[in-house]
Amino acid sequence: MTRNANLYDLCDRPILKGDYRTEPGRNLRFIYRTIACHPLLKYLLLKGCRHPAIALTKISEYEEMMCKAMQASFDDWQDAQWIETTFRPLAQLLDSIENPHWQHREKTRWADSEINHSALQNIIDNCLQDVIRVWDKDKDDPWFPVAAQVELSGDDHMNGNNFINVLQGLGSFEYKNITVLFALIRCFLMMNPGRLRFIRKTYPGICEPMSASFTWIWHRIAFSDVSFFEHLLVFLDSDISRRQHYGTVVPILENLLRYCVCTSQEWLETPNNHIKHPAITCLPKDEQGRPLCRLSNDAVQKKRSLGFGDYVPDTDTTFLTLAMARKWLDFVEKEQLTLDNALFDACKSLLAYPWVEIISEYQVGGKYHSNPPTIQITKPLDYEGAVPIWFSKTFKRADGSIIHEMLGNEVCPGHNMDILDSILLNRKQWQALEGDNLIFLQRLLDFHYQAFVSGNFRHESALKYYLPEMYTYYLGRMYKTFGKLSDVEKNTLDPEQKIAGMRRIALGYCRDELIGYSLNTFDAALAVSALVLLEYEPRHDGVIATGLKVMSDAIGEGSRGHPFKAYEWNRMRHPTRILVGSEIATSLFVLRACSEAARYL
């Protein structure tokens, strides 16, 4: 009987024994030894995964594919046709995968009665205690930990065409190599459901619970900190009684915002008009080049070798920080707080740049065409009017070559909603409702409008980093900002009332497709936040109460003293599926949702 091949039958000879004379080849050998040949992964999981469509006697085309990868030059990896031809066999394997239905959701009934005040306050108290306990663990350098969890099963939407598109759109050969390796692992793992169940199972709700915490990679980045800043600011600002917590929470807010505005800042220049401006990066370093993101030097070196070393500041984190800088200035003025003057001045300085002019150089279909998305996996979105994820930044390699798109550039709706919200918050200072700035803003608004009226926002495939419920929550945040505009400003921006149309669609989605079916804690927090921010009515009909009940019933599900589990907050869809979240992240999202709900109800 003919025996079927496993991953090592295809790769060991061309990678471990094959000839290489290039830097990409050396890197491929390194990541193969580091990941696929790790003893636990190899002998406990992957060695027993055999592909039913690949007989040992018919592995030559796959061996040839990996031989070409080992011998590839930098120029080969920039050749779209070479990528298409070389990796077509692997793309065909990806197309043959039938994805399990991971999310388990059943139709539910809305709650018959509202959660009482004491029960709602109990959720808030549990979250706040968790927040303070975690923050106080490190007296010298406090932080809120966030973890990344690699899902070897990969992205369910990574078919052959998307895979080739990713390889062609990336700039870093390290990232291309690891994408190929993870795609191969996915092909073998998904064809062996008996092995697959050891690493991934079905789960209730939409956001995936994170498991196997011993594998998590912990880090601190500005994207997380600026989001946590907002949740805590919402908590403080939701009720006058929260002032009793100022002494504890305000120093945390200052620390979080300082990490974003000051520690994580670097300088860039726009690709067309060459406007020098600051931006917020994910991997800040100190003056000696040491990482400031709570990663060890060894971990940073491994990230670099695996293709994640050089990062470009992203538009989302930058504009989220700009939004929170504005909210902080307004909050300090409103409450007449005496705080860190250096931070106050840094926020004012960050906001002083012409941010609408800066970001308009990146708009798809706008005046400029210098930084288009190189990867188009967020389907079936229409990208017209959107802004890609990464700012323009080049990197020089040891051989003198220049790489522009290290990670590839993509469009994600959630990032674009943050940009819209931030510009509306800062509309007066940035003259956002005038001239070319208004044209840019209306094109961006139309991108979101098309995503909602087409129904494309419902598709997980349309979002790179988020799930649809997160995008809907982001719409709620923007809608609250929009509500603070004057009638003249609203009519100037949105004469056709597109935002009202988006709100109606989103409310129906939250009511019928989120609250209407079983949710987990994180889902419920997003649903309740979105409903409240979008001003759902009738507010006492059981819809919001149903989401609150999910969170109340879940208290105690967490481990190690946390009230809740860690859930998928955001994710990367390549080089494989990588979940990002933590128990404290869940507590902060729940704290925000319940604080908003207590005010609204």
Does the pLDDT of residue 301 top 80, yes or no? no
Q: What is the pLDDT of residue 311?
A: 75
Q: What is the pLDDT of residue 304?
A: 67
Residues in Cβ contact with 85 at an 8 Å cutoff, skipping those fewer than 6 apart: none
How far apart are alpha carbons 246 and 254 in whole angstroms?
11
| Element holding 570 (H helix, E strand) | strand 570-572
How far apart are alpha carbons 380 and 192 in whole angstroms?
30
End-to-end CA distance of the chain: 68
Q: Which residue has the tokens 């966030």?
A: 146
| pLDDT band of 449, cuts 50, 70, 90 | very high
| pLDDT band of 285, cuts 50, 70, 90 | confident
3-state SS string for 460-519: HHHCCCCCHHHHHHHHHHHHHHHCCCCHHHHHHHCCCCHHHHHHHHHHHHHHHHHCCECC
Q: What is the pLDDT of residue 138?
A: 95
Q: How far is CA 32 from CA 42, 234, 260, 501, in A?
A: 11, 46, 35, 50
* Backbone torsion region of residue 426, taken as left when φ is above 0, otherwise alpha when ψ lies between -120 and 50, otherwise beta: alpha
- Length of the chain measured in residues: 601
Angle between helices 222-237 and 315-335 (to 10 degrees): 30
Helices assigned H by DSSP within 208-313: 222-237, 246-258, 297-305
Which phi and psi (to 5°) does residue 209 adopt?
-65, 145
How far apart are alpha carbons 338 and 247 in whole angstroms?
12
Q: What is the pLDDT of residue 288?
A: 79
| pLDDT band of 204, cuts 50, 70, 90 | very high
Average pLDDT value for residue range 3-21: 93
Q: What is the pLDDT of residue 339?
A: 81
Q: What is the pLDDT of residue 448?
A: 98
How far apart are alpha carbons 265 and 278 in whole angstroms?
6
Residues in Cβ contact with 579 at an 8 Å cutoff, skipping those fewer than 6 apart: 148, 149, 151, 208, 210, 568, 571
Q: What is the pLDDT of residue 284?
A: 87
Q: Which residue has the tokens 């279909």?
A: 365
Angle between helices 60-70 and 23-31 (to 10 degrees): 120
Query: 16-54 pLDDT, tens per residue?
Result: 998 888 999 999 999 999 999 999 999 999 999 999 999
Q: What is the pLDDT of residue 306?
A: 62
| Element holding 124 (H helix, E strand) | helix 117-135
Choice between 294 and 358, residue whose per-residue pLDDT is larger: 358
Query: 106-115 pLDDT, tens per residue?
Result: 999 999 889 9
How far apart are alpha carbons 548 and 551 in whole angstroms?
5
Least confident of 163-167, 395-399, 404-408: 395-399
Average pLDDT value for residue range 533-556: 97
Q: How many angstroms from the chain centroid is the CA of residue 60?
A: 38
Q: What is the pLDDT of residue 400?
A: 75
Q: Which of 210, 224, 281, 173 is nearest to 575 (CA)?
A: 173
Average pLDDT value for residue range 144-169: 96
- Count other C-beta atoms under 10 Å from residue 93's C-beta: 22
| Element holding 571 (H helix, E strand) | strand 570-572
Strand 577-581 and strand 276-280: the pairing is unpaired
Query: 547-570 pLDDT, tens per residue?
Result: 999 999 999 999 999 999 999 999
Least confident of 292-301, 362-371, 436-445, 571-580: 292-301
Q: Which residue has the tokens 């005496």?
A: 338
| pLDDT band of 512, cuts 50, 70, 90 | very high
Q: What is the pLDDT of residue 478?
A: 98
How far apart are alpha carbons 257 and 225 in whole angstroms?
7
Choice between 307 and 420, residue whose per-residue pLDDT is larger: 420
Average pLDDT value for residue range 496-503: 98
* Exposure letters 82-92 (e unless 16+ CB within 10 A, then b): bbeebbeebbe
Handedness of CA 590, 592, 596, 598 (dihedral sign): positive
Q: How far is CA 130 from CA 48, 78, 559, 581, 587, in A?
A: 42, 48, 12, 15, 7
Q: What is the pLDDT of residue 1?
A: 63
* Exposure letters 454-482 (e unless 16+ CB within 10 A, then b): eebbbbbbbbbbbbbbbbbbbbbbbbbbb
The overall average pLDDT reported for the chain is: 94
Strand 103-104 and strand 203-204: the pairing is parallel
| pLDDT band of 309, cuts 50, 70, 90 | low
Task: Give yes or no for a cis peptide into 24 (omega within 30° of 0).
Answer: no
Give the burial class of 210: count Cβ atoms within 10 A of its Cβ; 0-12 exposed, 13-18 middle, 19 or more buried.
Answer: buried
Choice between 468 and 286, residue whose per-residue pLDDT is larger: 468
Residues in Cβ contact with 303 at an 8 Å cutoff, skipping those fewer than 6 apart: 295, 309
Which phi and psi (to 5°) does residue 425 adopt?
-60, -35
CB 315 within 8 A of CB 387: yes
Q: What is the pLDDT of residue 491?
A: 98
Q: What is the pLDDT of residue 286?
A: 83
How far apart are alpha carbons 524 and 518 in whole angstroms?
9
What percent of the chain shows pLDDT beyond 70?
98
Q: What is the pLDDT of residue 514?
A: 97
Which residues share a beta bridge with 161?
A: none
Average pLDDT value for residue range 203-228: 94
Q: How far is CA 477 from CA 446, 465, 532, in A?
A: 17, 18, 10
Does the pLDDT of residue 155 top 90, yes or no? yes
Token pair listed for 257: 């915002």
Q: What is the pLDDT of residue 307?
A: 61
Average pLDDT value for residue range 371-389: 95
Q: Is 25 helix (H, G, I), strand (E, B) or coil?
A: helix
Does the pLDDT of residue 358 top 70, yes or no? yes
Does the pLDDT of residue 438 top 80, yes or no? yes
Q: What is the pLDDT of residue 456?
A: 97
Does the pLDDT of residue 511 top 70, yes or no? yes
